[in-house]
């Protein structure tokens, strides 16, 4: 693929400057930019990163570019979750650009002219140059092609713009690599650390234990005091640092799914549609006008249709009708217009002519026909592509590589797959007039051409109106302090969306909640939101139940979340007391087990690095205590994740001495280097003043 084509398709990634190494976590900063004056310019600030404002006029187009990339990658027309991903990706890029840029400057990192020359056209080309100009089989760069493309910049403003973007990205990657190398070079593993790691992964422990599970005491029998909560909170404060402000809300959904009457009406409509479909003079036009899902009138391969339809359709001869059949949430009706065997993939080149520049499709077609004649008489196709094509593939002689069905527009695809190797075809598409040269066709599979209709099961207006009326009545009656009680009284189920971040594109049980989330961030704790939110299959009324600020959360903020852990902590005290009584006068684990009425369980070959106890899940504290104990010594009680334990070590099996300390160090340094990169970038974010106002815009 040519440089311009590749860059055009990947422009979103270059614009956002996504960093090329494993730095993905970031803190979004304060959700509200307090203290900004409300004049027009400040209302365009999406956020600020260490004093540098990010303007919506520049941020918005980057989001659109990123969203277009996601649509291309995942298919479909996009959804709220995909949009949220695009916004996050662009914001990550902006944070990285600002913070890393300042760090490069502080450290004196730069890319010299000689280095850049070497990366572009020297002996050590950038991975991007290899990707765009390299041989896919050998990886060798065609330097003549690079130089030729660079020379053409003076004649082609669009190509110059693409090269400017590419050069910027190459410099950025080079700086990132220098920074990564600098961070990695700061990591060192001592011989003692290498031997400890080796021991932790290879030393074996054999032990016996008795455990009393927390489940042996019913939760209802435990009443934690305020002191219990306070003690647990103070001992575990590091757990309660909130990286970004969150909102929680409760909501009631008023369902607008189709009723039985709606379904019956749709079925009758579809049956009439099926009869009209068979009588329609133009199958494809009728399908295009009546289908809720637009499927191109072109050949498709097996596996592309709904599974309930796919196998049946591919076994029918041309002219057959199939359906209506209800599959999923829609009825399908299909006419098989044609069947044939077709190549699985095609390798082709093309010359794209811009009809607008030549004064119309007729003149563009005339030029394409003339070029076709020249090629038939021996002219070089690649030379003509470089001279006449307006597509980025011109830099590679019009080569498009190998593609399968569904990757090109219908007109282009039909010409490429319906011809044969060596054919020259002139076709018109939405992009202009193409002269196509079919280089090669690979494989052969059955394909079918379909006129396809899909009618969704949808609620009637009557059903929607009834649901909306219920939602309106509930909103009129509900107060800030009686939301759950009123819902319960009226027989409605209350849903909960907990710890929702400002830019989150989803919420439990809600199909498209962005508007609701945005309004929740403009409300206070306890507020009932004053809007009826229309979701895909319901109307929703919501109330904000919690506002948790960025930073260390208070005990009150986390009290509900930590209640199960505090209950277990109280149980641990009770079970520890029980085990201590059993330990009095006991000298063996079997005596303790007899007093507790529990068996002593033997566990062989446990390693420190994998603290999984069969039947007791992961017990880090217990395994740590075991490897710190002496053989044959009865332990004190150990409160773990699942219960309280007492144990005795039967013995340890030490591994052979570490044979290659250097190799062990290298492996540890490599793993540590990757973690250190992420930690370094996280430290930059923790230190930076980042204000994130995206929730005001998206």
604 — pLDDT class (breaks 50, 70, 90):
very high
* Percent share of the chain, pLDDT over 70: 94
Q: For the chain, give every domain's residue range.
A: 3-184+689-696, 204-242+556-653, 247-257+476-548, 260-342, 345-442
Question: In the predicted model, is pLDDT for residue 32 greater than 80?
Answer: no
Rounded distance between C-alpha atoms, residue 313 and residue 448, angstroms = 8
Q: What is the pLDDT of residue 2?
A: 44
- pTM (whole model) above 0.95: no
Residue 72 CA: distances (Å) to CA of 9, 10, 404: 9, 11, 16
Please give the backbone phi and psi of residue 378, each rounded to the nearest 5 degrees, phi first: 110, 0
Rounded distance between C-alpha atoms, residue 606 and residue 627, angstroms = 10
Sheet holding 204-213, edge to edge: 601-606, 204-213, 643-653, 638-639
Q: What is the pLDDT of residue 29?
A: 33
Up-side HSE of residue 416: CA atoms within 13 Å toward CB?
31
Q: What is the pLDDT of residue 34?
A: 37
Q: Which one-letter DSSP state was computed for residue 219?
A: G
Q: What is the pLDDT of residue 498?
A: 93
Rounded distance between C-alpha atoms, residue 475 and residue 530, angstroms = 7
Rounded distance between C-alpha atoms, residue 92 and residue 687, angstroms = 16
Question: What tokens does 403 get?
Answer: 């593609």
Rounded distance between C-alpha atoms, residue 291 and residue 296, angstroms = 11
Please state which CATH number belongs to domain 345-442.
3.10.50.40
SS3 447: strand
Q: What b/e sequence results for 156-181 when a residue is b if at least 16 CB atoms lie within 10 Å of its CB, and e otherwise?
A: eeebeebbeebeebbbbbbbbebbbe
Asked if 307 contacts 328 with a C-beta cutoff of 8 angstroms, the reply is no
Question: In the predicted model, is pLDDT for residue 6 greater than 70?
Answer: no
More confident residue, 78 or 636: 636
Chain position carrying tokens 């592309």: 304
Across the chain, what does the average pLDDT equal?
88
Q: What is the pLDDT of residue 14?
A: 38
Question: In the predicted model, is pLDDT for residue 26 greater than 80?
Answer: no
Q: What is the pLDDT of residue 507?
A: 92
In terms of DSSP bridges, do strands 690-692 and 345-353 run parallel, antiparallel, or are they unpaired? unpaired
Least confident of 66-70, 138-142, 353-357: 138-142
Overall average pLDDT of the 122-131 stretch: 89
Q: What b/e sequence results for 620-651 when a residue is b if at least 16 CB atoms lie within 10 Å of its CB, and e otherwise?
A: eebbebbbebeeeebbebbbbebbbbbbbbee
616 — pLDDT class (breaks 50, 70, 90):
confident
Asked if 395 contacts 144 with a C-beta cutoff of 8 angstroms, the reply is no
Overall average pLDDT of the 677-692 stretch: 90
Question: What tokens does 491 get?
Answer: 């027989």
Asked if 29 contacts 94 with a C-beta cutoff of 8 angstroms, the reply is no
Overall average pLDDT of the 365-378 stretch: 92
Helices (H), 38-156: 56-74, 80-107, 113-121, 127-133, 143-151
42 — pLDDT class (breaks 50, 70, 90):
low
3 — pLDDT class (breaks 50, 70, 90):
very low
Q: What is the pLDDT of residue 137?
A: 72
Question: Which residues are paired to 220 by β-bridges?
Answer: none
- Cis before 218? omega within 30: no
Question: What tokens does 538 get?
Answer: 């319901």
Please write the tens of the pLDDT for every residue from 316-353.
999 999 989 998 889 999 999 889 898 889 999 999 99
Least confident of 13-22, 97-106, 208-217, 637-646: 13-22
Question: What tokens does 695 get?
Answer: 């929730």
Cα-trace Rg, the chain: 34
For the four alpha carbons of 429, 434, 437 and 440, in that order, the dihedral sign comes to negative
Q: Which one-letter DSSP state was computed for residue 282?
A: -
Asked if 599 contacts 589 with a C-beta cutoff of 8 angstroms, the reply is no
Residue 512 CA: distances (Å) to CA of 507, 538, 541: 8, 10, 14
What angle, 0 to 180 degrees and rounded to 10, lies between the N-to-C axes of helices 157-185 and 113-121?
110
Asked if 321 contacts 450 with a C-beta cutoff of 8 angstroms, the reply is no
470 — pLDDT class (breaks 50, 70, 90):
very high
Question: In the predicted model, is pLDDT for residue 13 greater than 80?
Answer: no
Virtual CA dihedral for 661, 665, 667, 672, nearest 10 degrees?
A: 160
Rounded distance between C-alpha atoms, residue 683 and residue 696, angstroms = 27
Residue 427: name the closest of 406, 407, 413, 412 by CA. Answer: 412
Chain position carrying tokens 């599970």: 213
Q: Which one-letter DSSP state was computed for residue 52?
A: E
Overall average pLDDT of the 391-414 stretch: 87
Rounded distance between C-alpha atoms, residue 96 and residue 685, angstroms = 9
User: Which residues lie closer than 8 Å to 47 by C-beta, 6 or more apart?
Assistant: 29, 33, 53, 54, 91, 94, 690, 691, 692, 693, 694
Question: In the predicted model, is pLDDT for residue 357 greater than 70?
Answer: yes
Q: What is the pLDDT of residue 150?
A: 87
Question: In the predicted model, is pLDDT for residue 17 greater than 70?
Answer: no
Q: What is the pLDDT of residue 312?
A: 87
Please give the backbone phi and psi of residue 496, each rounded to the nearest 5 degrees, phi first: -130, 130
Question: What tokens does 354 get?
Answer: 């811009």
Q: What is the pLDDT of residue 156?
A: 82
Asked if 478 contacts 526 with a C-beta cutoff of 8 angstroms, the reply is no
Overall average pLDDT of the 363-368 stretch: 93
Please give the backbone phi and psi of residue 502, each rounded to the nearest 5 degrees, phi first: -60, -35
Least confident of 71-75, 180-184, 463-467, 557-561: 71-75
Question: In the predicted model, is pLDDT for residue 462 greater than 80?
Answer: yes
Overall average pLDDT of the 586-606 stretch: 95
Q: What is the pLDDT of residue 37?
A: 38
Please write the tens of the pLDDT for every residue from 523-559.
999 999 999 999 988 999 999 999 999 999 999 999 9
The total of other beta-carbon atoms located within 10 Å of residue 289's CB is: 10
């Amino acid at each position: 693929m040519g440089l311009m084509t590749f860059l055009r398709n990947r422009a979103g990634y270059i614009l956002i400057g996504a960093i090329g190494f494993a730095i993905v976590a970031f803190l979004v900063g304060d959700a509200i930019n307090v203290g900004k004056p409300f004049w027009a310019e400040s209302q365009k600030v999406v956020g600020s990163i260490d004093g540098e404002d990010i303007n919506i006029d520049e941020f918005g187009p980057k989001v659109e570019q990123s969203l277009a990339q996601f649509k291309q990658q995942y298919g479909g027309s996009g959804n709220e979750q995909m949009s949220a991903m695009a916004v996050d990706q662009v914001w990550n890029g902006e944070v990285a650009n600002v913070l890393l840029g300042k760090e490069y400057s502080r450290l004196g990192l730069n890319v010299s002219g000689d280095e850049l020359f070497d990366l572009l056209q020297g002996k050590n080309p950038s991975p991007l140059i290899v990707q765009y100009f390299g041989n896919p089989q050998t990886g060798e760069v065609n330097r003549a092609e690079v130089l030729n493309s660079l020379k053409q910049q003076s004649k082609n403003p669009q190509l110059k713009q693409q090269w400017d973007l590419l050069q910027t990205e190459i410099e950025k990657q080079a700086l990132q690599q220098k920074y990564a190398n600098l961070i990695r070079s700061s990591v060192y593993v001592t011989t003692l650390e290498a031997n400890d790691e080796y021991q932790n992964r290879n030393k074996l422990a054999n032990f016996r234990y008795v455990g009393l599970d927390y489940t042996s005491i019913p939760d209802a029998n435990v009443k934690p005091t305020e002191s219990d909560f306070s003690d647990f909170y103070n001992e575990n404060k590091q757990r309660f640092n909130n990286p970004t402000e969150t909102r929680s809300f409760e909501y009631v959904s008023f369902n607008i799914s189709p009723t039985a009457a709606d379904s019956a009406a749709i079925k009758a409509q579809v049956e009439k549609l099926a009869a009209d479909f068979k009588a329609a003079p133009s199958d494809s036009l009728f399908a295009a006008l009546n289908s809720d899902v637009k499927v191109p009138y072109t050949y498709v391969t097996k596996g592309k249709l709904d599974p309930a339809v796919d196998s049946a359709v591919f076994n029918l001869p041309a002219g057959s009708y199939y359906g209506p059949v209800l599959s999923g949430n829609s009825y399908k009706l299909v006419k098989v217009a044609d069947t044939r065997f077709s190549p699985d993939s095609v390798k082709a080149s093309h010359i794209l002519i811009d009809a607008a520049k030549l004064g119309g499709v007729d003149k563009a077609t005339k030029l394409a026909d003339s070029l076709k004649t020249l090629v038939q008489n021996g002219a070089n196709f690649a030379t003509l592509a470089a001279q006449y094509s307006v597509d980025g593939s011109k830099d590679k002689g019009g080569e498009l590589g190998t593609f399968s069905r569904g990757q090109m527009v219908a007109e282009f695809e039909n010409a490429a797959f319906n011809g044969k190797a060596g054919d020259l075809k002139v076709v018109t598409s939405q992009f202009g007039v193409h002269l196509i040269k079919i280089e090669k066709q690979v494989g052969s599979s059955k394909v079918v051409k379909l006129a396809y209709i899909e009618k969704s099961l949808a609620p009637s207006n009557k059903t929607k109106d009834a649901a909306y009326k219920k939602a309106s009545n509930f909103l009129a009656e509900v107060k800030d302090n009686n939301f759950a009680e009123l819902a319960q009284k009226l027989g409605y189920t209350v849903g909960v969306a907990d710890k929702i971040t400002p830019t989150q594109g989803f919420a439990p049980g809600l199909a498209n909640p962005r508007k609701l989330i945005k309004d929740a961030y403009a409300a206070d704790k306890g507020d009932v939101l004053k809007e009826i939110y229309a979701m895909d299959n319901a109307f929703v009324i919501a109330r904000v139940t919690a506002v948790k600020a960025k930073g260390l959360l208070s005990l009150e903020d986390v009290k509900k979340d930590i209640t199960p852990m505090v209950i277990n902590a109280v149980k641990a005290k009770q079970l520890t007391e029980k085990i201590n009584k059993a330990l009095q006068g006991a000298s063996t684990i079997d005596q303790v087990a007899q007093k507790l009425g529990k068996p002593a369980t033997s566990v062989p070959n446990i390693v420190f690095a994998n603290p999984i106890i069969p039947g007791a899940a992961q017990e880090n504290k217990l395994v740590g205590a075991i490897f710190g104990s002496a053989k044959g010594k009865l332990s004190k009680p150990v409160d773990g994740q699942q219960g309280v334990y007492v144990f005795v070590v039967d013995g340890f099996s030490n591994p052979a001495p570490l044979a290659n300390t250097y190799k062990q160090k290298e492996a540890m340094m490599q793993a540590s280097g990757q973690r250190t990169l992420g930690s370094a970038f996280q430290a930059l974010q923790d230190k930076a003043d980042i204000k994130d106002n995206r929730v005001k815009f998206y």
